[in-house]
Structures are given as C-alpha cells and as structure tokens.
Amino acid sequence: MKPSHASFILSVVPVWALPAPQASPSDVNNQPGPPGSSGSLRGSEALLGYSSSENVPKEPSTEIPPEDFELAPGQSENENLGLYIDLTNVKNPQPIRGGTTAPTDPGPRTEAYDRLNSDLFIPPGTDEGDVSNAKWPFGLSHNRHGLAGAGWARQQNVDQLPIATAMAGVNMRLSPNAYRELHWHKASEWALMLNGSVRIEAVNEDGQTFVDDVTAGDVWFFPAGVPHSIQAFENGCEFLLVFDDGSFSEDETFLVSELMERNPETVVAKNFRTSVETFSKLPDGQLWIFPGTPPPEDIEQQNVTGPAGVIPKTQSYSFHFSEQQPYTVPGGSIKVLDPETFPIASDFSTALITVEPGAMREMHWHTTSDEWTYFLQGSARLTVYQAPASSRTFDFTAGDVGYVPVPNAHYLENTGNETLIFLEVLQAKRYSDISVNQWLGLTPRQIVKDHLNVDDAFVDTLPKVKPIVVPGNPDMTTTNFTGSPL
C-alpha cells in the first residue's frame, strides 16, 4: 500500500523535534528549567555553516509519486489556456499545469485554501508580474459580537485589504428585534439588505425625518454625519454596508450612549434643561448592537415629524431595489442603481449582476473609480490586468470581497455550477464601464487588424453594443465556447 500524503508528512515532522548535537552549553543554556524540561534552548556554535564533505545531507526524496495525487480536468492542458482548475474533489491537489507531473507541494500547506484559490496556487500561464492582493473573505475577518446574542459584525477595510483605499465593507447581522444603536459617522453608508427586513430611521440637519421598512434586495444610504438607527423585525436580518472611505472602521462610529457618557453629567442635564437624575440609568458602556423591544408593525407609529416635515421623496434614503426588474442579456442579467435613480447616494454607482454557469461578465474597466465587489452567491474568478504588463487571477466564493483599482481591466467568470450573483460598487456619479468588445467593435477595421493580426471574419463578429455578460460553456475545461446551452 502506498503511503498517503498525510503519513508522508507525519514521517517528516518529527525531524523538527529531534535533539540537535550540543556542545559546551552557554551560561543561558545552563540555567535550570522548569520541572520536566530537558535539552538546551539554543544550539552550539558547532552548528554554524559550512557542512564538511562527509556531512552532506542524504535525505529521502521530496517528490510526491504521481500515484499519490490526482490532476483535475484542465491541469494537463497548455498553461496559457488558463482553464479553470476545479480542485474541489481531487485527491491531494498539486500546483501543476501544462502536461507535466511537477512541481508538487510536499507541504506544509493548508489544503482548503489551495482548493478554494486554484488560480493563485496554479496560476494561468498568462499571469505575470506583481499585482496587489484583490481578495478578502469576510470569513477571515474578526467577528465582533453584540450584547446578549443581539448580532454581530465583521469588516473589511485597508487593514485587511491595503489596496482598497476608496471603499470599505461591513457584513452585519441583527437578531430578531435587535438594534444597531443610534449613531453617525464620518463616511457615507450605502447598504444592501441580504436577508430579512429592518426598519431604518434618520434625522437630517434641516430637521427633516425619514423612516422606512426595507427587505432583502433593498438598498439604503445615509449621508456622512446624518444620525440613524437600524432595527430588525421579528425574523432578524443580515445586510452589507459599503463606506466611501477605505479606512472606515465599524468600531469607531459615534454612538448616542457614549455621547451621553463622555460629557460632564451637569452639561448633559443642562443641555436638556433637566436634572442630573434623569440620566442616572444610562447604559454602562456602549450599546452598539443590542436587544430591542419589537418595533410596532404600523410604521406610522414611528413616523415622527417636525415643522420641516419628512425628507422629500427625491432625496429618500432608501430604494426598493428588490422590486426593480433586471435587464437580461444572454448569459445573465444586470440591475443598475446609481444617482440617476437614487440621487441621495450621489457618489455610489452600483450594479447587481447575475452570470449563468459558464458565462462571464465581459472584459471591461471603469474610467474614474476603483471597483469594490461583493459576492452574494456562487463562485467566480477575476484577472486584474495592470499597466503595462502585469496580471493576476483571483478566485471568489459567496461572502468574499474583491477590489480592482481604477482603471485596471478585469472580467468575472462563473466558475461554478450555480448562478453567480455579485455586486459592483463604484465611487462615481454614474455607473459606466468601457467594454473591450464594444471598444474594438467601434474601432476602424483596419486598425483592429493591424494591431491584433485577426481576420475579417473575426472583426465581423465584434458587437457595437456592450454584451455586458457573454454566454459560455458550463464545462470549464473545454475550449469550445460556442457549446452554450443558453
């Protein structure tokens, strides 16, 4: 029976624990240790290089025999084809492309990361040069828990993903009836409801008020500095927040609890023309995310207005995006939400895009803004092409964040068996892109032919409108892209 990869590792690991030859221990090494200790903290000077001729290491081979691993479909093909390598189910996956059985990885390694990131582990032959990391899984973020099981939040900002300077993200959960405390912050907040529903309310600097109920697929926006609260209904909720500042931190927001606690008690009492005793039961410390009393079902019971009335509909803080019908194209669909229809979010231009298995969000770039991307469902890969000659390919699954600096070219290819759903967020007045298909389709024929050495038959196929998504074969290991079932 062949030794498994695991037993191979086990037979190697004890090397790290073997006693090294010791000579003339130093004073430090002679200090008595705790009961049960043995050996020396440091090795002797005799271990300094170089090896003597009789001392050349004779080690077992580090090569992994071909019968101890499997290649996934596509691994044997030319590496420049860059076929997607699905490592989900292969035994002992190895970083091999292009019809060889090398190189292998004897470890140490975290196989789960390799399986999830096959394009980093086994890059397409076309990946070149140095490109900053473009992926952050919320699953690697610290998850901060609220009070008494009321929810949690985890974030991605420049501390996690240093290239993401223009935007940051937060993934937040509120348990049934829980609140995100009344608060405000320096950055503007754009939100997409992921599950369940919430009541949101806010008061602006003119004393106009806003209250609305939003559900999965809906969007809200709170301008910088405008105080607001968020309360889940009886079924709880989860949502995604995007901020227009890459260094935003969810742990550094301004909180009503701390506002009251961090000012002299007499000042707080004077401010409200009351007695100090009024605030004798302030919560101890911040509330942040905490259990609440169920909100009244009838929203009119929480519709407080002053002389300035409500925030006018044209400046509304919410958009019932879940009810917007998608624009469908072969291979997928797109819903755009930007200031043309949601004016208050004056710098947030977004698109919610679906891509069927085998299909691809076409090669494109954005002219004025970085792109912050969130994956809601399925799996995808994306290659960042950076001027002049670098590129790197990253793999994503639901719950990941992606980031592409302006104006780097990229595509998003569905690498899984279910519909890919992702969100593109730009800091722009209008959602737009440059489509590589359309660019070349609108460039004079002779110019295209002189640059790319392509024939007339190909130039004839170039579209004059953006495909947005291009259909493709769900079999990711074929070069026959016309075999689309769509």
Ligand X SMILES: *[C@@H]1O[C@H](CO)[C@@H](O)[C@H](O)[C@H]1NC(C)=O
Residue numbering of the annotated binding site for Mn(2+): 183, 185, 189, 228, 364, 366, 371, 410
Q: Which stretch binds ligand X (CB under 6 A): 82-90, 198-206, 256-264, 405-413?
A: 82-90
Rule CB under 6 A: say whether 315 interacts with ligand X: no
- φ/ψ of 435, rounded to 5, equals -90, 130
| CA atoms 25, 31, 36, 41: torsion sign | negative
Angle at the Cα of 397 from the Cα atoms of 326 and 114, rounded to 5 degrees: 155
Rule CB under 6 A: say whether 149 interacts with ligand X: no
> 């991307």: which residue's tokens?
373
Of 13 and 299, which has the nearer Cβ to ligand X? Answer: 299
Rule CB under 6 A: say whether 483 interacts with ligand X: yes
Q: Alpha helices of 247-327 — where are they, by DSSP H?
A: 256-261, 265-271
Of 65 and 483, which has the nearer Cβ to ligand X? Answer: 483
Rule CB under 6 A: say whether 26 interacts with ligand X: no
Cis, bond preceding 330 (omega within 30 deg of 0): no
Of 24 and 482, which has the nearer Cβ to ligand X? Answer: 482
Annotated binding site: 183, 185, 189, 228, 364, 366, 371, 410
Number of residues that bind ligand X (CB under 6 A): 16
Q: Residue 457, Cα to own-chain centre: how many angstroms? A: 40
Cis, bond preceding 467 (omega within 30 deg of 0): no
Q: Which of 310, 459, 462, 486 binds ligand X (CB under 6 A)?
A: 310
Residue 298 DSSP label: S
Of 89 and 461, which has the nearer Cβ to ligand X? Answer: 89
Of 182 and 211, which has the nearer Cβ to ligand X? Answer: 211
For residues 131 and 114, what is the distance between their CA atoms, to the nearest angstrom? 19
Rule CB under 6 A: say whether 274 interacts with ligand X: no
Of 199 and 361, which has the nearer Cβ to ligand X? Answer: 199
Q: Does an H or E element contain 183, and which?
A: strand 179-184
Rule CB under 6 A: say whether 482 interacts with ligand X: yes
Write the DSSP string, 189-207.
EEEEEEEEEEEEEEE-TTS
Rule CB under 6 A: say whether 480 interacts with ligand X: yes
Count CB neighbours of 197 within 10 A: 17
Count of H-run helices and E-run strands, the chain = 9, 24
Q: Which of 64, 71, 86, 134 binds ligand X (CB under 6 A)?
A: 86
Q: Which of 148, 276, 299, 465 binds ligand X (CB under 6 A)?
A: 299
Rule CB under 6 A: say whether 303 interacts with ligand X: yes
Q: Which stretch binds ligand X (CB under 6 A): 27-35, 85-93, 361-369, 387-395?
A: 85-93
Q: Which of 31, 126, 417, 443 binds ligand X (CB under 6 A)?
A: 417
Q: Which of 274, 278, 305, 367 binds ligand X (CB under 6 A)?
A: 305
Rule CB under 6 A: say whether 78 interacts with ligand X: no
SS3 211: strand
| CA atoms 44, 46, 51, 54: torsion sign | negative
Rule CB under 6 A: say whether 216 interacts with ligand X: yes
Q: Does an H or E element contain 384, and which?
A: strand 379-386
Look at residues 448, 180, 233, 217 and name the one whose alpha carbon lies nearest to residue 352: 217
Rule CB under 6 A: say whether 479 interacts with ligand X: no
The verdict on whether 424 is a catalytic residue reads yes
Rule CB under 6 A: say whether 459 interacts with ligand X: no
For residues 142 and 395, what is the distance between their CA atoms, to the nearest angstrom? 21
The residue ranges that bind ligand X (CB under 6 A) are 86, 88-89, 195, 211, 216, 299, 303, 305, 309-310, 416-417, 480, 482-483
Q: Which residues are catalytic?
A: 424
